[in-house]
A and B are shown apart, each in its own frame.
Chain A
Amino acid sequence: MKGDLCILGIESTAHTFSASVVTETKGLLSDVRDVYLPPEGRGIHPTEASNHHAAVAARVIGEALEAAGVATSELDGVAYAMGPGLGPCLRVGAVSARTMALALSKPLIPVNHAIGHIELGCMLTGAKSPLVLLISGGHTMVVSCSSVMWRVLGETLDLTLGQLLDQLGRHVGYSSPCGRRIEEDASKSHRYLPLPYTVKGNDVSFSGLLTAAKRMVDAGEPFEDVCFSVQETAFATTVEVTERALAFTGNGELMVVGGVAANKRLSQMLGIMAERHSAEFHVVPLRYSGDCGAQIAWTGLLEFRSGVSVPVERGGIRQSWRLDTVQLPWRSGA
Chain B
Amino acid sequence: MEARHGPTPLEVGRLKLVYRGAEADIYSGDWSGEPAVFKFRKPLPYRLPELDAEIRGQRTVREAQLLHESRSAGVMSPSLYYVSTIESLIVMAEVSGPRLKSFLESPGADTEGVSAEFGTAVGRLHSAGIMHGDLTTSNAIVNERGIHLIDFGLAVRSVKVEDHAVDLRLIKETLVGAHHDISAEVMKSFLEGYAGVVGDDRSRRVCRKLAEIERRGRYARVE
Contacts and interface: CB of A to CB of B under 8 A. Distances in A.
Interface residues of A, number: 48
Contacts, number: 110
B218 A236 contact: no
Interface residues of B, number: 39
A223 B104 CA distance: 50
A193 B36 CA distance: 38
B1 interface: no
A248 B178 contact: yes
Nearest to A142: B177
Nearest to B49: A192
Contacts of A83: 219
A322 B20 contact: no
A190 to B, nearest CB: 9
Interface in B136-162: 136, 138, 154
B178 A320 contact: no
A152 B169 CA distance: 12
A194 B46 CA distance: 17
A200 B213 CA distance: 13
B105 interface: no
A202 to B, nearest CB: 6
Nearest to A140: B218
B204 to A, nearest CB: 22
Interface in B158-183: 166-167, 169-170, 173-174, 176-178, 180-181
Given A244-B22, A321-B219, A272 B45 contact: yes
Given A146-B177, A200-B133, A246-B22, A320 B221 contact: yes
B46 A273 contact: yes
Which residue among B22, B221, B223 has the maximum number of chain A CB atoms within 10 Å of its CB? B22
Contacts of B213: 157
B219 A320 contact: yes
Interface in B4-48: 20-23, 44-48
Given A146-B180, A240-B22, A244-B22, A202 B220 contact: no
B173 A202 contact: yes
Contacts of A138: 218-219
B159 to A, nearest CB: 16
Contacts of B46: 236, 239, 268-270, 272-273
Nearest to A272: B46
Contact of B51 (A154, A157, A158, A197): A197
B108 interface: no
A244 B45 CA distance: 15
A224 interface: no
Contact of A202 (B51, B136, B180, B219): B136
A277 interface: yes
A146 B180 CA distance: 8
Contacts of A194: 51, 54
Nearest to A199: B154
A151 B219 contact: no
Interface string A64-96: 000000000000000000011000000000000
A147 B178 contact: no
Contacts of B44: 240, 273
A194 B44 CA distance: 17
Interface in A184-228: 192, 194, 197, 199-203
Contact of A152 (B21, B50, B166, B173): B173
Interface string B203-223: 000000000010011111111
B180 A201 contact: no
A113 B211 CA distance: 25
A151 B51 contact: no
A84 B219 contact: yes
B217 A155 contact: yes
Contacts of B178: 146, 151, 248-249
Contact of A240 (B23, B50, B176, B216): B23
Interface string A136-148: 0011000010110
A53 B82 CA distance: 63
Closest 4 CB pairs of A and B: A201-B170, A269-B46, A244-B22, A243-B22
Given A240-B22, A244-B134, 11 more contacts: A139-B218, A146-B180, A151-B176, A154-B173, A192-B51, A200-B133, A201-B166, A202-B173, A244-B22, A246-B22, A319-B219
Interface of B: 20-23, 44-48, 50-51, 54-55, 133-136, 138, 154, 166-167, 169-170, 173-174, 176-178, 180-181, 213, 216-223
5 contacts: A138-B219, A240-B44, A248-B136, A276-B20, A320-B222
